[in-house]
Amino acid sequence: MFEIYLSITIMIVAGFAVAAIFLALSSWLGAKRTTIEKQTTYESGIEPVGTARKR
């Protein structure tokens, strides 16, 4: 009975470990360059006018 729970626990821990490794690798190897063009607001191709709180 203990062997069944042990194998399930090992698989769950291994799954979390693989997910954590992939998240760490993607943040480490991913693109980090942000430009002004990427930071601007996109409103369906129309330049935003005023603030978002204005009606």
Instruction: Give me the pLDDT at residue 25, please.
Output: 96
What one-character DSSP code corresponds to residue 44?
T
Largest CA distance in the chain: 66
Predicted TM-score (pTM) of this structure: 0.56
Burial (Cβ within 10 Å: 0-12, 13-18, ≥19) of residue 35: exposed
pLDDT above 70 for 55 = no
Please state, in angstroms and rounded to a whole number, the distance separating the CA atoms of residues 25 and 28.
Answer: 5
What one-character DSSP code corresponds to residue 49?
-
pLDDT digits (tens, 9 = 90+) for 7-49: 999 999 999 999 999 999 999 998 888 888 777 777 777 777 7
CA 45 to chain centre: 26
